[in-house]
Structure 1
Amino acid sequence: MAISVKNYTNRYLVLAILVIMAIWALLFYALLMDEVYDNVDDGLKNQKIEIIREAFKDPSVITDNKTYGINQFIIREVAPREDLDKNHFSRKLIYMPYDEEDEPYRILSTGFFSKDGKAYELEIRTSTVEEDDFLINLAISLSVLYIVIVLSIIIINHFVLRNAWKPFKETLRNLSQYRFGESKSFQPVKSQVKEFEELNLQIAKMIDRNEMVFEDQKRFLENASHELQTPLAVSIGKMELLLQDEAFNESQLKKLAEAKQSLHRMVGLNKSLLMLSRIENHQYNQTEKIDFNALTKNLLEELEDIYTYKEVQVSLEDKGIFLADCNPELAQILIGNLLRNAIKYNKPQGQIQVVFSERTIRIANDSLGEALNPKYIFERFHKGTQDSTSNGLGLSIVQSILEKYPYLTIQYQFIHNQHVFDLIKN
């Protein structure tokens, strides 16, 4: 699932800071404890020198300190050895009555020779840092610091990124509102961020290129359609003249009629393909509130001669007014194609029911055959029946129109031997 740049940045900053602070805490703890023990050891060595000096001056120092007392050192007579004067440091937990618990001590063990040549062992101890308490306090302090840093970064990021990304969001909003053929619908947004300025520049260049290609394509399609329509119209006119020529026999006239019908199909196909191209190239961008009830009734009046000729009965039922924002021309093509299909693929003396409500227009017609396949009926050049007069683009045009308006959808059902198309407003 996609997340915003702000949350994406905060996520990795929080993790990075956590890792960095954890590593830093371990290094800091190790270095600090090393420094503490160095200082304690230096103090013990200085104390050793002072005690040995006093022992040479006053031999009673040796005899009076055979057990730990206030001075925190003891002197014991030992057998002479070569490494007697070497320093040996150790740590030990010693019970303290005041605290009623064991406390950590640093102990220096060494030795010296007295004036009379006897060997003595000197052991000095001093309390040191409680590592476990220090570690807990360090962890608490770092946790508080981590929370403060993270909250500060989130707050700072919120305000800084909000201002920094504001031009980018405006650019996205302008892009979402941009439509082909309306280059002025995209307005570049000024920004103090260099990358966003570059982005706006490249988008503007891309739109200019697309507009040029769009205009070239539109002119080509219109010119191509016009160039096709002219020879087709001429050919149909000549066919009509030939059909009036008495020199042709019935078989020849039949073939000429079939050729004329094929030419009419080509004219219809050319118009349908041009219409699809215009729809997909967003040449119908103007919209207004359309009363589909009134539009449908007007179209039925125009088609009255056709369905009357086929003896098809049309019934209307108003349960509400279906209003939707749509291009007027596309709305007429949309409903017109559905009504023409309902008439064309109806059985003789069949019925067409049109039911209006606030959210649905249902157009149902009696079927000549079986149900259509919902997966394919809206595909281009798909024919539900083997009708040589159909170009298979009627419902494809309907689908292309509805793709421009996400709040409108169409559904097909086969109910009680009727083809049922529901235009639904979401």
Structure 2
Amino acid sequence: MKLLNKVTIWFVGIVFLTTPVTMLISRHNIKKKLDQAEVERMREVNDRVARQLAAGEKPDRYTHGRPIAITTLQGPLPENKVQIVKDNYVSEDLGQKECRITVNSFYQIGDKAYEISSFNYVIKSEEIFRGMLNTVVWKILLILLGVSLTARLLSKVVFRPFHSTMKALYKFDLKQKQPLELPNTSTTEFRELNTFLRKMTDKAMEDYAAVKEFSENASHELQTPLAVIRSKLDLLSETNIDSTQAALIGDMQNAIEKLSHINRSLLLLTKLENQEFKTNESIKFCRVTKDVIAMYEDWLTLKEITLTHSLDKNIPLIIHPTLAEILISNLMSNAIRHNQEKGLIRVELTKKDFCVSNTGLPPQIPTQELFKRFKKSNQCNESIGLGLAIVKQICEVNGFAITYQYSKGWHSVRIVFDPPKKELNVTAVPELEAAEV
């Protein structure tokens, strides 16, 4: 939910909560003020009639047609000279509930005591409440309409710099080496946000350039001494050496090859993390798959492994050709390396997914550890533990989902090309396990 919608809901909720309370308080105060005004008016009427009586005038002219009663009392006046009586009763004539206020005033005029009473019908609380309720309903409807229109206006005017900042962030790319361009704004909070984002992106660009330069330099510099060591060992192997020395030289050559492989793999992972293989062109994934399988025919024959495949035709994918070849090659080499003697490999390609399955021993480490770098089982010491890490990174870069299952002696790595959003992470079936790199 958008921030503006949340603020609107909170505001409307507060209005709905406070309106009934304020309405009850207003009704009570209005009713109280109306009653007080009517009581004061009737007290003034009673006092005027009493002054006429004290002056010897007949009050008939004033009291004629008015709800005023004059009664002569026997005995002393009560202590309370003004008595107010409020009655609620059902009128027989009107057939509805009425509210009447009577003001009884007591006066001593000469040697006589008088009770002068005035009464009047006042507005009932229910009528005030109904009138206020009707007003409140219209008030709330107008508030909702006003808030909705104002929220849309605020979203387009006040939040325009924020939306522009978000669009600039979406388009920002570290590899373009262009500073983040953000719009100017007079809003203090947005201005502070833009300042922070500029500093953060500038620092990210500097760090990215430094890391990229270091990885490229490190890879390049490592290749030179490795090539020198490899050539020296080749020269040494051509001299007169015994079998023990030859075995040692062979071990060193294997170690150098593994070190060179690790160096190339780490450099590839760095480039993948830096997203240096972006492309908008599609390739025929089925053709790349056939080419890679053909590259491994000799190795399959050497290990007496039977490969079967089912490849659909015309499957275009938006992926860098180099990454596609590395992806399939790593899965194929993994399936061969971790297979058993005279084992089986099955390759399946459809428009939805790509799956490489192979026979082999059960895995010896937890499934969730298999896609981490340098994580492997002890089934194959030749593995450096980076093959599936590279496969996973390629899948993440291209938005694929990857799963690894082990069931009934078969290891299966499946790549889904267009997964739902929630499946973009690497997943694994809990009850099954996977092989190592």
- The TM-score range, normalised by the shorter chain, is 0.7 to 0.9
Amino acid at match of 2:16: L
**Cα RMSD (Å):** 2.9
The aligned counterpart of 2:19 is 21
Aligned residue among 86, 99, 105 for 2:100: 105
SS at match of 2:174: coil
- Letter of the 1:110 counterpart: S
Contact 2:82 2:105 in 1 (8 A): yes
Q: Deviations over 1:382-422 (max 9, x none)?
A: 2134322211000011001111122x122223355332222
Residue of structure 1 equivalent to 2:353 = 360
**Residue of structure 2 in register with 1:331 after alignment:** 324
Contact 2:179 2:201 (8 Å CA) reproduced: no
Q: Match of 1:65?
A: none
Q: Distance in 1 between matches of 2:267 and 2:140?
A: 65
Q: Given the two structures, how large is their TM-score scaled by the length of structure 1? A: 0.87
Return the alpha-carbon distance in structure 2 between the equivalents of residues 85 and 285 of structure 1.
97
Q: Write the distance in 1 (CA, Å) between the matches of 2:392 and 2:340.
A: 25
CA displacement, residues 191-215 of structure 1 (integer Å, 9 cap, x when unaligned): 5645434433432332222111101
| 8 Å contact kept, 1:84–1:112 | no
Matched, 1:307 2:317: no
Give yes or no for the alignment of 1:131 onto 2:125. Answer: yes
3-state SS in 2 of match to 1:181: helix
> Could you tell me which of 220, 223, 231 is aligned with 1:226?
220
**Aligned pairs for 1:175-214 within 5 A:** 175-184=169-178, 187-189=181-183, 193-214=187-208
Q: Which residue of 1 aligns with 2:8?
A: 10
Any idea what SS the aligned residue of 1:77 has?
strand
- Kindly tell me the number of residue pairs found equivalent between the two proteins: 417
Listed one character per residue, the Cα deviations across residues 282-326 of structure 1 (whole Å, up to 9, x for unaligned) are 222234212111111222333344334334444332334332211
Deviates more, 1:215-224 or 1:232-241: 232-241
Is 1:361–1:422's contact at 8 Å kept on the other side of the alignment?
yes
Correspondence for 1:72 among 57, 67, 74: 67
Gap regions ≥5 residues in structure 1: 63-67
CA distance in 1 between counterparts of 2:80 and 2:347 reads 114
| Distance in 2, Cα, partners of 1:60 & 1:313 | 131
Match in the other structure for 2:415 = 423
Query: 1:264/1:33 Cα in 2 relative to 1: closer, same or farther (>3 Å)?
Result: same
The residue identity in structure 1 corresponding to 2:115 is: E
Equivalent residues of 2:404, 2:411 under 8 A apart: yes
Percent of aligned pairs with the same residue?
23
- The TM-score, its normalising length taken from structure 2, stands at 0.85
Q: CA deviation at 1:366?
A: 3.4
2:50 matched residue in structure 1: 52
Task: In structure 1, give the amino acid aligned to 2:273.
Answer: E
> Alignment partner of 2:175: what SS?
coil
| 1:4 Cα offset (Å) | 0.9
Aligned residue identity for 1:138: M
Pair 404,86 (structure 1): closer, same or farther in 2 beyond 3 Å: same
Cα distance, 1:216–1:107 mapped onto 2, change above 3 Å: same
Residue 404 of structure 1: SS of its match in structure 2? helix
TM-superposition CA deviations, 1:61-94 (whole Å, max 9, x none):
69xxxxx995323233334436568222231125
Matched, 1:263 2:236: no
Moved more, 121-130 or 71-80: 71-80
How far is 1:257 from its partner? 1.3
Partner of 2:396: 403
Contact in 2 for aligned 1:177/1:185 (Cα 8 Å): no
C-alpha distance in structure 1 between counterparts of 2:336 and 2:150, whole Å: 66
What is the rounded CA distance, in whole Å, between the counterparts of 2:59 and 2:307 in structure 1? 128
Read off the aligned partner of 2:29 and give its amino acid letter.
L
Q: 1:228 to 1:203 in 2, by over 3 A?
A: same
SS of 1:388 mapped into structure 2? coil
Matched AA of 1:156 = T
